[in-house]
């Protein structure tokens, strides 16, 4: 075997090792570990898209028992979750997500700016008192993967 073949074999072996460890990390690093994901929503025009992504995520992993999901909402998107004006599809999805254990966090700063309280939002919401971006950072520090569709 010449030097080039030895070098190529070594590089290939390293690549295979890194690929295998990356695949293990991407699947939750072993049995019993649930993937934790936080979705970030601030754009009003992306509400249905993000809710669809969350449902696809739950379905894709085999149900809510196989993933921990949080949804943090701030800015203009929060208005879509006002109980008085929420579209029936959004109300239904939020109710199902709440039953599935999805954390639904509304930015406390946005709530103040929009002059809305938790009781005026769809059932299941909690307040991210320190702010939506602070809640996002807290969840990421707890090992949640960040998604902003």
125 with 59, same domain?
Answer: yes
* Confidence (pTM): 0.78
23 with 44, same domain?
Answer: no
5 with 40, same domain?
Answer: no
Number of domains in the chain: 2
92 with 130, same domain?
Answer: yes
**pLDDT confidence of residue 33:** 79
51 with 120, same domain?
Answer: yes
**pLDDT confidence of residue 2:** 57
60 with 20, same domain?
Answer: no
75 with 116, same domain?
Answer: yes
**pLDDT confidence of residue 28:** 47
Handedness of CA 19, 21, 23, 26 (dihedral sign): negative
Q: What is the pLDDT of residues 55-78, one digit of tens each?
A: 999 999 999 999 999 999 999 999
50 with 120, same domain?
Answer: yes
134 with 87, same domain?
Answer: yes
2 with 52, same domain?
Answer: no
First to last CA, the chain: 49
Low-confidence ranges of the chain (pLDDT < 50): 7-8, 10, 12-31
Can you read off the two tokens belonging to residue 97?
């997500």
5 with 64, same domain?
Answer: no
128 with 66, same domain?
Answer: yes
Range of the domain at 115: 34-147
């Amino acid at each position: 075997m010449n030097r080039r073949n030895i070098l190529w074999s070594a590089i290939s072996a390293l690549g295979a090792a890194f690929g295998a460890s990356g695949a293990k990390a991407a699947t939750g690093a072993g049995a019993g570990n649930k993937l934790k994901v936080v979705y970030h929503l601030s754009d009003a025009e992306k509400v249905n898209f993000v809710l669809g992504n969350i449902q696809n995520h739950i379905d894709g992993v085999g149900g809510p028992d196989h993933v921990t999901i949080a949804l943090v909402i701030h800015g203009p998107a929060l208005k879509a979750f006002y109980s008085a004006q929420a579209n029936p599809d959004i109300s239904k999805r939020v109710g199902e997500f709440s039953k599935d254990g999805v954390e639904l966090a509304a930015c406390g700063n946005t709530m103040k700016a929009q002059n809305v309280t938790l009781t005026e939002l769809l059932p299941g919401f909690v307040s991210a008192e320190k702010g939506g971006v602070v809640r996002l950072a807290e969840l990421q520090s707890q090992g949640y993967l960040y998604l902003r569709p």
